[in-house]
Structure 1
Amino acid sequence: MNEKEIAELRRRFRPEKTSITHIRGCCVNENREIVSQFDQSLALLSQEESEKFLSLLRKTLSGGIGKNLVDITFTTQQVADSPEHRLLMALRSSALKDEQAVQTFFQQVIGSLSLEGNYLILLARDAYDVPYRSRDGERQDDASAEVFSYLLCAVCPVKQTKPGLSYHIRENEFCTPVPDWLVSAPELGFLFPAFDERTTNLYNALYYTRDTAENHPEVVDALFRSPIPMPASAQKETFQSLLGDTLGADCSLEVVQAVQEQLCQLIQEHKECRQAEPLTLSKGTVTCVLRSCGVSDRHAESFDGKYDEAFGPDAALSPGNLVDTRQLELRTPDVTIRVSAERGDLVDTRVIDGVKYILIRADEGVQVNGVNVQIS
């Protein structure tokens, strides 16, 4: 799915636009025990309460594609006949009224998820009458292309409020309120089926994870029996390690800067082209980038082999997961320097009298602890 398709579905999660009639919920304690369940009709809630439920669900369609939002792909055999796909289809086709399917789903999540404390599983089903769009992009609300029926799941931590003082105006006194439990933003969730090219794709789901360093692969395996790409943060760390290990003594500031600049340029060009599909890089493209940055053929071939071991030979990576597009960070055991990604030209390295230095050009506006200082 691309950003436009995700944004189109996100706009559905308003009380006046959604066709969600009820939400199934399951509260789980820290011992993985179900303490309560509910089948909540949105029509019986106030607008404020309804908006809060829909807001929690909507958050599972937020974040960066390839970072927080990851495509999950089913094989043809899974779609034809597999217990994981049958379960999702039963939930969808029954509009969450198949009680056995709902309970099976709750148990699969609980049995696979390792999450500290209490949490809430929310499950909703919506039917979207997709407006027709002509080739010129004009939307025609009176003409429908299809009805997109889908599930949306959100798993939200439930945390106890911190103790404190509250003031009661009527009684004119302070008191300690009774601790309460609040539902936090979703930790993970998913959309099924995918809304690819504004139509139903039963071969894909869109998986959400709040933390780019932890995507809970055990839940993905339990629900989809499908591999999930390495978390975005781990992709960046792995790429950095590969680059350093491959180049060894030839891994200079200039090479690392050049790689970052090349990848940032690819990202910028993709944005300017206004292409709907997310930008991904194959192993061959990444290797070409390294060669264009001055990496020798010997080192490039070594990078190829280590890339296969780390990511897999067919892995397509988002360049935004490999480098920081906003800043260049230089770190020593005692000092950390952050420079805007666009001003890498301000940084240089030198060896003076046998001592290694990082040099930063500082013409004006130099501050130390918030105090303007002069360099003379």
Structure 2
Amino acid sequence: MNKKEISEVKKLFTPSHCAITRICGCYVDAEKNQRMKMKEAFLSLPEEEMFKYFNIFRKSLSGSIGKNIMIMEFPLEQEMEEGTQEFLLKIRDSELKDDVLLQEFYQRVMETYIYAENYYIILIHGAYDVPGRASDNLDMEDASDYIYNFILCSICPVKLSKPGLMYNSETNHMENRIQDWLVEVPDNGFLFPAFNDRNTDIHSLLYYAKNPEILQTDFVDQFLGCQTPLSAKTQKETFQSLIEETLDNTCSFETVMNIHENLNELIEERKEEPEPVTLNKQEVKKLFADSGVENAKLEEFDTHYEALADEKTSFVASNLANVRSYEIKTPDVVIKVTPDKAQLVETRMIDGVPYIMIQATDLVEINGITVRTPKSDDSDTTTI
């Protein structure tokens, strides 16, 4: 799924385009007890509740693809009989009307979802009459191609509101506020099946994580039956290790800067594309070669790649590069520079000592105080 397809599904969680047929929920306490279960036709809910649920569902499809949102494919074994895909298809095809299936769903979530406090499992079924699309890319509402049937699960923390004082308009007094158990925005969720190429793709799903570093490995591996992808932070750390080990003693300032400059150029060139920029093994190798990595070092690239990742691992470019600034760090000094001004920083060897040099302009400030920069004809040298 790309950004446009995710946005199209998110529009279904609005009053004017609502495609939700049924909503179910299970409130689980910190001791893993099912405290409350509900099952309703969604449109029978009070309007105020519907709007709050809409917000939760849209949050379950928010964030950056490759960071908060991951497209996961089912391994072949999970598409066999008794696999996780079959179970999710049964849930979807039941339209959430089978109480036995729903209870099994809640139980499987509780067994694999690691959370020490209260949480609320929300499950919805939707049926989207997908409109055809004209050559000018406009929807034709009266030319539907087919129905996209899906389920969306959102898992939300439930926390006690903070104590405090409140104004009671009826008594015109300040008084103690009653603490309530509040349903917060989802920590995790998934959409099944995926909506790829504006069509049903039962071979994959979309997974959401509010915190991209907490991916709920047991839930992904056991409940969904998918392989947990590398988190955004792990992708970045793996890429950094790959650079260091491939370049080894030739890991120079210029080569590393070239790698990041070329990476940022690639992101900039493809920023209008709905799909995120991803790099597989061969594309990472080409990036290194284009950035000046020696052929002798590239001969060892495949070995380092397989040791740090695996053959099928790909990297989301936005997880590897910072398009806003480069950070150059020594034990005592940190330099930050925007990518388009990277040429202002260079390395030099002076009297046998390596230096990182910054080109000074007429406008230099120290703690907000404008200082005069030395001119080429100044006889003295200022050291900071």
Question: How high is the TM-score relative to the length of structure 2?
Answer: 0.90
Structure 2 portions without partners, runs of 5+: 375-384
Mapped to 2, the partners of 1:365 and 1:56 lie a distance apart of 48
C-alpha contact 1:243 1:303 (8 A) present in aligned 2: no
Q: Given the alignment of the two structures, is residue 79 of structure 1 paired with residue 70 of structure 2, yes or no?
A: no
8 Å CA contact 1:109, 1:222 repeated in 2? no
Structure 2 distance, partners of 1:374, 1:28, is 64
The Cα shift of 1:68 comes to 1.5
Separation in 2, partners of 1:157, 1:331? 38
For residue 107 of structure 1, give the secondary structure of its aligned residue in structure 2: helix
Look up the equivalent residue of 2:292 and give its one-letter code.
G
Q: How far apart are residue 230 of structure 1 and its match?
A: 0.6
Point out the more displaced range, 133-142 or 260-269: 133-142
Which of 169-178 and 143-152 deviates more?
169-178
CA displacement, residues 316-371 of structure 1 (integer Å, 9 cap, x when unaligned): 22222222222111223343332212221122233444554433223144333334
Number of matched pairs: 374
Deviation at 1:271, TM superposition (A): 2.7
Q: 1:370 to 1:50 in 2, by over 3 A?
A: farther
SS at match of 1:12: helix
From 304, 308, 324, give the equivalent of 1:326: 324
How far is the alpha carbon of 1:312 from its aligned partner?
A: 0.6
Judge conservation of contact 1:186–1:210 (CA < 8 Å) in 2: yes
- Using the TM superposition, give the Cα deviation of residue 166 of structure 1 relative to its aligned residue in structure 2, in angstroms: 2.5
Aligned to 1:257: 257
Note the C-alpha offset of 1:170. Answer: 4.5
Aligned to 2:379: none
Residues 181 and 371 of structure 1: CA distance in aligned 2, closer, same or farther (over 3 Å): farther
Q: Relative to structure 1, is the Cα distance of residues 301 and 188 closer, same or farther in structure 2, using a 3 angstrom cutoff?
A: farther
Instruction: Kindly provide the amino acid, as one letter, of the partner of residue 20 in structure 1.
Output: I
Is the 1:12–1:18 Cα contact (8 Å) retained in structure 2?
A: yes
Show CA shifts across 1:56-102 (max 9, x none): 01112111112121111124553342331222111111111111211
Partner of 1:191: 191
Matches within 5 A, 1:29-44: 29-44=29-44
Distance in 1 (alpha carbons) for counterparts of 2:65 and 2:214: 15
- Indicate how the Cα distance of structure 1 residues 373 and 178 shifts in structure 2: closer, same or farther if over 3 A, else same: farther
TM-score under structure 1 length normalisation: 0.92
Equivalent in 335, 338, 361 of residue 337 of structure 1: 335
Q: Quote the Cα distance in structure 2 between the aligned partners of 1:13 and 1:355.
A: 62
C-alpha separation between the residues in 2 aligned to 1:354 and 1:31? 65
Q: How does 1:265-280 map to 2 (within 5 A)?
A: 265-272=265-272, 274=273, 276-280=274-278
**Residue in 2 aligned with 1:161?**
161
- Give 1:175's aligned residue: 175
Residues 75 and 225, structure 2, Cα contact 8 Å, conserved in 1: no
Q: 1: CA distance between counterparts of 2:32 and 2:300?
A: 46
CA 1:374/1:163 → structure 2, altered by over 3 Å: closer, same or farther?
farther
Partners of 1:29 and 1:257 in 2: how far apart? 50
Name the residue aligned to 1:316: 314
Partners of 2:352 and 2:182 lie apart in 1 by: 59
Aligned equivalent of 2:129 = 129
What is the CA deviation profile of residues 195-228 of structure 1, one whole-angstrom value per residue up to 9, with x for unaligned ones? 1111111111111112222222211112222212
**Conserved 8 A contact 1:79-1:202:** no
- Please give the alpha-carbon distance, in whole angstroms, between the structure 2 residues aligned to 1:26 and 1:375: 66
Structure 2 Cα separation of the partners of residues 120 and 364 of structure 1: 58
Partner of 1:240: 240
Q: Which runs of 5+ in 1 are unaligned?
A: none
In the TM superposition, what whole-angstrom CA distance separates every residue of 1:161-201 from its partner, at most 9, and x where no partner exists? 22233333454433331222222221111110111111111
Quick check: 230-239 or 296-305, which moved more? 296-305
Contact 2:25 2:123 in 1 (8 A): yes
Partners in 2 of 1:165 and 1:359 — Cα distance? 57
Distance 1:148 1:349, change over 3 A: same
Q: CA deviation at 1:34?
A: 2.0
Q: CA RMSD in A?
A: 2.1
C-alpha change, 1:354 and 1:168, in structure 2 (3 Å) is farther
Which residue identity is paired with 2:202?
A: L
Q: 1:4 to 1:179 in 2, by over 3 A?
A: same
Corresponding residue number in structure 2 for 1:65: 65
Q: 1:259 to 1:106 in 2, by over 3 A?
A: same
Contact in 2 for aligned 1:160/1:180 (Cα 8 Å): yes
Matched letter for residue 368 of structure 2: G
State whether residues 15 and 47 of structure 1, in contact with CA within 8 Å, keep that contact through their aligned partners in structure 2. no
Report the CA distance between 1:258 and its aligned residue. 0.7
Assess, with a 3 A threshold, how the Cα gap between structure 1 residues 369 and 159 changes in structure 2: closer, same or farther: farther
* Residue 365 to residue 177, structure 1, CA distance change in 2 (3 Å): farther
Partner of 1:346: 344
